[in-house]
């Protein structure tokens, strides 16, 4: 069960934003999309969640054409965390996370447990009764993350679950970046497919099963971090001369610029 | 911090509304005692003034108070819905031009259906109401297109659009008055002054029907409105059919505002003040906010209308003046607060 993208192209008002993308994002794996600004990362995520419709090509979610999913069904297995949020009303953190349960009919008690657990997982339990409008950027982002966790927290009869994250760590301090990456790994471990955009190549190297490098709307490279994060690719795509090293303790791949 | 549980607030508002209703029935140029009122209501009034009391209660005060109740509830409901739809607590039908749009629609309807208005009051009112509905709908669509984008709602654009529509409405209304004959002019100006003093049972009926439609339709969209506060695509990702809900909400508010404007003229700020206060008490969850706002708006307008009747008795103040007097300072306070919040960033 996968998100399968085949020959996807997207043209918006005369501009080719995405050209001939083909890749697969498996359930239980973390697929990280990287690339310079304007490479088409956000456009790709928008197509994957159904906000934009491709000009040509095919996107299949659990073997069914994405566009043929009913909105309500799709919401039970696919959750998306946007980069910015426009929420401007004084919901408490718990209430925001409760919104993630809208697609489900699991009852008040079960929902409350799920919300509690989601808040705890992003270290936002202490925010529970605070107003969203009075939180810092990082706190808001964590609460939103908890919301999408709550949305797909339980297995569904509709198939594998997927989580689409657009730069989830952008507003986070170091500790919460680490926490988020650990959480993402844990989610993948529980069978959820994660597709996320990251800017930091080292963060990508540490948590990705597969990296997708976008450049000018095309896939410049895809594969495991070791296959993709090479001097040649980074030079070609980002125009930056880097060294590829190894973390002294974890032996994970590191991009040193 | 939230102060009250929503269920408690709604129960409190319901009982307060009943109390206010009874009080409003006793107050006026002729003051009734509670005993008189009770005996009149159950048809047991005796004595030389019994007939008088009956006329005052059933023909004058009750339809007027019920009209205030319906219109207050409609305005507050529409305000609450609009703020959710625009994802901004400052959206108010009278501030963003929806009421102005409705007023132009109503004026046009008055001018072009002059004949009907004089011959058949019922037909006349429905034509004016339809005009107001169409005008309100156009204005809502226009402001919504202008002010909302995927990055949220621009308060500036929203309020500026309101000013622009208000200006267009003002000039169109002026133009219509300029070219009307005396009889039409009189009708339009009476209508524009807008108050509840023309209330009677036949004017109450369509408003009550509109309120019932809204009360039946809106609670079902409570969850959808909550999700919409997150943004349109976020709501879609939560399984909400955003286009359909938006269309329903825009039509519903235009219907409510159009009906209120057609019957009672321009009454501002109720849609801003009431949902704001309710949100302070129980939070923004629309499943509770909508019914509580309806009750609060009903109560506020009954109080304002009673004051309008009593303060300068036997003369009357236009009710729009009173609601603006309460609402405008609160609106300025909200602006100040929002400014302060923005500067924190």
Task: Give the mean pLDDT of A182-211.
Answer: 93
Per-residue CA distances from A116 to A120, A123, A132, A202, B237 (Å): 6, 11, 16, 31, 21
Nearest by CB to A90, which of B152, B238, B284? Answer: B284
DSSP A159: B
Question: Is B314 a domain residue?
Answer: yes
Of A104, A26, A21, nearest to A63 (Cα)?
A26
Position B155 scores a pLDDT of 65
Of A86, A94, A100, A149, which to mutate for an interface test with B (greatest number of B Cβ within 10 Å)? A86
Query: What phi and psi values does residue A171 have, to the nearest 5 degrees?
Result: -100, 5
Question: What percent of chain B shows pLDDT beyond 90?
Answer: 23
Residue A188 confidence (pLDDT) above 90: yes
State whether residue A191 sits within 8 Å of chain B by CB.
no
The percent of residues in chain A predicted with pLDDT above 70, rounded, is 100
**What local confidence, expressed as pLDDT, does residue B191 receive?**
67
Bond prior to B314 in cis (omega within 30° of 0) = yes
Nearest chain A Cα distance for residue B85, angstroms = 12
Total tally of structural domains belonging to chain B: 1
Q: Which residues of B touch A100 (CB under 8 A)?
A: 238
Which residues of chain B does A84 touch, with a Cβ-Cβ cutoff of 8 Å? Answer: 151
Sign of CA dihedral A41, A205, A21, A236: positive
- Partner-chain contact A99 B88, CB within 8 Å: no
Task: Compute the distance between CA of residue A47 and CA of residue A40 in angstroms, rounded to an integer.
Answer: 11
Provide the mean pLDDT of chain A.
91
Strand pairing partners for A176?
none
Domain holding B264, by residue range, is 6-343
CB A3 within 8 A of CB A25: yes
Largest CA distance in chain B: 70
For the stretch A65-104, pLDDT in tens is 999 999 999 999 999 998 888 888 889 999 999 999 999 9
Cα separation, B249 vs B254, in Å, equals: 8
Q: Do A132 and A143 contact (CB within 8 A), yes or no?
A: yes
| Residue from the list B87, B151, B230 with its beta carbon closest to the beta carbon of A99 | B230
DSSP codes of every residue in B76-122: HHHHHHHHHHTT-TT--TTTTTHHHHHHHHHHHHHHHTHHHHHH-HH
What CATH architecture is A2-256?
A: 3-Layer(aba) Sandwich (3.40)
Residue A156 sits at the chain B interface (C-beta within 8 Å): no
Q: What angle do CA B163, B266, B61 make, to 5 degrees?
A: 165
- Residues from chain A that touch B3, judged by Cβ atoms under 8 A, are none
Kindly determine whether residue A82 and residue B240, on different chains, have CB atoms separated by under 8 Å: no
How far off is chain A from B339, nearest CA to CA, in Å? 13
CB-CB under 8 Å, A51 with B233: yes
Distance in angstroms (rounded) separating the CA atoms of residues A216 and B76:
50
The H-or-E segment that residue A7 falls in is strand A2-12
Q: Which residues of B touch A73 (CB under 8 A)?
A: 239
The token pair at A168 is 């989830």
Q: Do A102 and B151 touch (CB under 8 A)?
A: no
**B157 and B147 Cβ atoms separated by less than 8 Å:** yes
| Mean local confidence (pLDDT), A137-146 | 93
- The pTM assigned to this predicted structure is 0.86
Q: Which residue of A has its CA nearest to B83?
A: A89
Question: For residue A2, which phi and psi values (nearest 5 degrees)?
Answer: -150, 170
> Which of B88, B91, B151, B239 to mutate to test binding with chain A, by most A CBs within 10 Å of its CB?
B239
Please give the structure tokens belonging to residue A189. Answer: 């471990």
Is A89 within 8 Å of B87 when comparing Cβ atoms?
yes
Contact residues, A window 22-81, toward B, CB-based 8 Å cutoff: 49-51, 71-76, 78-80
Tokens encoding B154: 């621009």
Tell me the β-bridge partners of A212: A33, A222
Domain assignment present for B238: yes
Backbone φ and ψ of A107, nearest 5°: 90, 155
A193 forms beta bridges with: A162
Point out the residues of chain B with pLDDT beneath 70. Answer: 1, 114-124, 150-155, 190-195, 338-339, 341-345
The whole-angstrom separation of Cα A97 and Cα A111 is 10
What per-residue confidence (pLDDT) applies to B169? 85
Is residue B61 in a domain? yes
Q: How many CB pairs under 8 A join A and B?
A: 76
The alpha carbon of residue B175 and the mean position of all alpha carbons in its chain are separated, in whole angstroms, by: 26
B26: CB partners within 8 A, 6+ apart: B32, B33, B34, B36, B37
Which residues of B lie inside 8 Å of A (Cβ-Cβ)? Answer: 1-2, 87-89, 151-153, 223, 226-227, 229-231, 233-234, 236-241, 279, 283-285, 341
Residue B1: inside a domain? no
Residue A71 to residue A48: CA distance in whole angstroms: 13
A87 closest CB neighbour out of B223, B230, B241:
B230
- d(Cα B68, Cα B16) in Å, to the nearest integer? 15
d(CA A32, CA A121): 21
What is each CA distance from A107 to A154, B71, B221, B234, in whole angstroms? 14, 36, 18, 22
Nearest of A112, A83, A72 to residue A95 by alpha carbon: A112
CA dihedral B297, B303, B309, B310 (to 10 degrees): -170
Cβ atoms of B302 and B20 closer than 8 Å: yes
Kind plus residue range of the DSSP H or E element containing B57: none
Q: Do A88 and B152 touch (CB under 8 A)?
A: yes
On whether residue B73 sits in a domain, the answer given is yes
From B111's Cα to the closest Cα of chain A, the distance in A is 42
Contacts of residue A235, defined as CB under 8 A and 6 or more positions apart, other chains included, come to A241, A242
Residue B152 and residue A86: Cβ atoms within 8 Å?
yes
- pLDDT at residue B344, rounded to an integer: 44
Give the model's pLDDT for residue A5. Answer: 93
Q: Given B239, B240, B283, which is nearest A95 (Cβ)? A: B283
CA-based nearest residue in chain B for residue A130? B1
B165-220: per-residue pLDDT in tens?
Answer: 888 888 988 888 888 778 777 777 766 666 677 778 888 888 899 899 999 888 78
Best of B148, B234, B244, B286 to substitute, by most chain A Cβ atoms within 10 angstroms, is: B234
pLDDT cut 70: percent of chain B above it:
89
Quick one: closest CA in B to A80, which residue? Answer: B237
Chain position carrying tokens 């501030």 = B95
Residue of B nearest to A129 (CA): B1
Q: Is A218 left (phi over 0), alpha (psi -120 to 50) or beta?
A: beta
CATH number, domain with residue B82: 1.10.3470.10
Please write the tens of the pLDDT for every residue from B108-140. 887 877 665 555 666 667 787 788 888 888 888
Query: DSSP class of residue B151?
Result: T
Amino acid B266: pLDDT = 79
What CA–CA distance (Å, rounded) separates A195 from B88? 31
Buried b (16+ CB within 10 A) or exposed e, B59-86: ebbbbbbbbbbbbbbbbbbbbbbbbbbb
Q: Per the structure block, which two tokens stand in for B57? A: 């209660």
């Amino acid at each position: 069960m996968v998100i399968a993208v085949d020959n996807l192209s997207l043209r918006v008002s005369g501009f080719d934003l995405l050209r001939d993308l083909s890749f697969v994002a498996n359930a239980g794996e973390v697929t990280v999309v990287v690339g310079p600004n304007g490479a088409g990362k956000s456009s790709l995520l928008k197509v994957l969640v159904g906000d934009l419709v491709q000009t040509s090509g095919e996107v299949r979610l659990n073997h069914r054409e994405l566009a043929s999913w009913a909105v309500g069904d799709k919401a039970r297995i696919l959750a998306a965390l946007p980069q910015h949020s426009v929420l401007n009303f004084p919901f408490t953190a718990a209430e925001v996370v409760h919104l993630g349960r809208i697609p489900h009919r699991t009852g008040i008690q079960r929902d409350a447990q799920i919300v509690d657990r989601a808040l705890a997982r992003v270290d936002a339990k202490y925010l529970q009764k605070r107003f969203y409008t009075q939180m810092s950027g990082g706190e808001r982002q964590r609460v939103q993350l908890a919301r999408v966790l709550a949305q797909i927290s339980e297995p569904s009869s509709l198939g594998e679950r997927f989580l689409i994250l657009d730069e989830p760590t952008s507003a986070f301090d170091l500790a919460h970046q680490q926490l988020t990456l650990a959480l993402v790994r844990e989610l993948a471990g529980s069978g959820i497919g994660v597709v996320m955009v990251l800017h930091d190549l080292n963060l990508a190297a540490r948590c990705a099963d597969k990296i997708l490098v976008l450049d000018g709307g095309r896939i410049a490279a895809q594969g495991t971090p070791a296959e993709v994060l090479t001097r040649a690719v980074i030079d070609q795509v980002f125009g930056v001369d880097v060294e590829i090293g190894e973390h002294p303790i974890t032996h994970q791949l590191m991009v040193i610029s | 911090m939230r102060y009250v549980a929503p269920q408690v607030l709604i129960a409190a508002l319901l009982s307060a509304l009943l109390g206010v209703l009874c009080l409003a029935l006793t107050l006026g140029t002729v003051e009734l005692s509670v005993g008189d009122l009770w005996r009149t209501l159950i048809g047991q009034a005796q004595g030389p003034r019994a007939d008088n009391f009956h006329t005052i209660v059933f023909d004058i005060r009750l339809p007027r108070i019920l009209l205030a109740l319906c219109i207050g509830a409609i305005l507050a409901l529409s305000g609450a819905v609009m703020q959710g739809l625009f994802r901004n607590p400052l959206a108010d039908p009278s501030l963003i031009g929806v009421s102005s749009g409705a007023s132009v629609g109503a004026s046009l309807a008055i001018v072009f259906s002059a004949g009907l208005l004089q011959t058949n009051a019922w037909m006349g009112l429905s034509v004016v109401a339809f005009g107001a509905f169409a005008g309100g709908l156009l204005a809502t669509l226009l402001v919504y297109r202008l002010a909302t984008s995927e990055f949220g709602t621009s308060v500036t654009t929203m309020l500026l659009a309101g000013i622009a529509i208000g200006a267009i409405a003002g000039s169109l209304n002026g133009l219509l008055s300029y070219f009307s004959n005396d009889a039409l002019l009189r009708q339009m100006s009476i209508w524009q002054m807008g108050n509840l003093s023309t209330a009677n049972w036949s004017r109450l009926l369509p408003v009550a029907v509109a309120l019932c439609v809204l009360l039946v339709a809106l609670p079902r969209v409570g969850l959808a409105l909550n999700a919409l506060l997150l943004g349109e695509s976020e709501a879609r990702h939560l399984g909400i059919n955003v286009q359909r809900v938006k269309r329903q909400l825009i039509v519903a508010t235009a219907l409510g505002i159009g009906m209120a404007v057609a019957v009672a003229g321009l009454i501002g700020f109720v849609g801003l003040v009431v949902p704001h206060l309710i949100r302070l008490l129980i939070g923004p969850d629309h499943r509770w906010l909508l019914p509580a706002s309806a009750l609060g708006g009903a109560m506020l307008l009954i109080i304002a209308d009673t004051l309008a009747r009593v303060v300068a008795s036997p003369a009357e103040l236009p009710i729009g003046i009173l609601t603006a007097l309460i609402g405008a300072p609160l609106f300025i306070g909200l602006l100040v607060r929002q400014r302060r919040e923005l500067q924190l960033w």
